[in-house]
Amino acid sequence: MAPPNTNSQALISQQNDDDLLLSKTLHGYNFDEAHQQRDSFISKLHKKDKEFTQNVVDNYVQNWKEVQPEHETEAAKVERAQAYKTVANSFYDLATDFYEYAWGTSFHFCRFRPREPFQQAIARHEHYLAANLNIQPSHRVLDIGCGVGGPAREIGHFTGAHITGLNNNDYQISRAKRYAVAAGLDAKSNFVKGDFMSMPFDEATFDACYAIEATVHASSLEGVYSEAYRILKPGGVFGCYEWLMTDRYDPTNPEHLRIVRGLEVGNGVAKMVTVKDCLQALENVGFSTEHAKDMGATDDKIKWFYPLEGSVRQANAFWDYLTVLRTTTAGRAATTYMVKMLETLGLVAPGSAKVSGILQTGADAVLEGARLGIFTPMFFFVARKPAQ
């Protein structure tokens, strides 16, 4: 392996320091205080820096300059893809508190069984991945794009393995670390700041790695998959739930392009790609794909997107009703209205309502794409690095 490039390491270190400073400026004393996990949603918004938040929001939306997506040039798309780290980092600085308020600490979709509570279904989705990777207690496992560590904690409890979470967002890392301590998993987990397009780990470090609706933020799937391949031991396995456009997607259809734009703007995605792109990227970097299936294209009685539709009758526990009420179209609009009122009264940072509106756009696009069958958030694959 080539010796480390000290100039490159110094640049990355400086960029990480800059990111941390920006995150602390945005989140204020909310960033470092341990009790923040018990703070209410409104309290977290109140603690944001009231001048800096608006700047972060404005800079984020500038990544999509062309109003009509069909008129956007390839050069503009390339420029946004190259800025993938900034796009995703800004998005999660803005969206994390909203996600935890409405969804919980595992930022992903899942399938549902009749009479199955929401959080149980979320955990089963994570267990399914871990079981298919055959994760053992002795394994060292990498969670690529770990969010605030919900799946890492659940898979850690389920398997007994040591889980390392990789994340480029300092605010989420700070929360993941505190959640791990609270769950008694601080000795069996750690959370590392880093870019998954250039992972800060040696070759052949991990027995397994996984990503849950995270690598959609990469500038290219081939880039992040090649890094997953590099850090795996020979014979190691990579499992993923990937956000993709399906074979039904027509890139010449203006309605489809509008939905794709909503998915990108509303979810911090530089560029959506297709199932074919995903499978080709795995092959190109050397993986052998053992299993590939769209877990969203099923005949389940309860659809994976039911919380976004507001199907209250399909909720199965008290907290499920709150989730559905918060995530349905009316609930999302109510949250935006509430935040806008608080913003008008000076109780939360300017730009907070715009963040809520951006997330509304993303959720609407997910729902539209799902109903048309052109989008899936859970194309599941298991791929293996050759043993030799």
CATH of the domain at 122: 3.40.50.150
The answer to whether residue 281 is domain-embedded is: yes
Task: Give pTM, 2 decimals.
Answer: 0.91
Q: What confidence score (pLDDT) does residue 67 get?
A: 62
Q: What confidence score (pLDDT) does residue 230 get?
A: 98
> How confident is the model over 252-306, as pLDDT tens digits?
999 999 999 999 999 999 899 999 999 999 999 999 999 999 999 888 989 999 8
Q: What confidence score (pLDDT) does residue 10 get?
A: 65
Q: What confidence score (pLDDT) does residue 347 get?
A: 87
The answer to whether residue 47 is domain-embedded is: no
8 Å CB contact between 275 and 244: yes
The answer to whether residue 15 is domain-embedded is: no
The answer to whether residue 202 is domain-embedded is: yes
Could you tell me how far CA 163 lies from the centroid of its own chain? Answer: 17
Token pair of 285 as six digits = 């970097």
Residues of the chain predicted below pLDDT 50: 1-4, 34
Q: Tally the domains of the chain.
A: 1
8 Å CB contact between 359 and 97: no
Token pair of 387 as six digits = 């043993």
The answer to whether residue 157 is domain-embedded is: yes
The answer to whether residue 39 is domain-embedded is: no
Q: How many angstroms separate the CA atoms of 149 and 130, rounded?
A: 15
Q: What confidence score (pLDDT) does residue 321 get?
A: 75
Q: What confidence score (pLDDT) does residue 244 get?
A: 98
The answer to whether residue 58 is domain-embedded is: no
Domain that holds residue 126: 118-250+271-301+376-384
Token pair of 209 as six digits = 């790695």
The answer to whether residue 340 is domain-embedded is: no
Instruction: List, in order, residues 6 or more apart from 124 with CB less than 8 Å away.
Output: 110, 113, 116
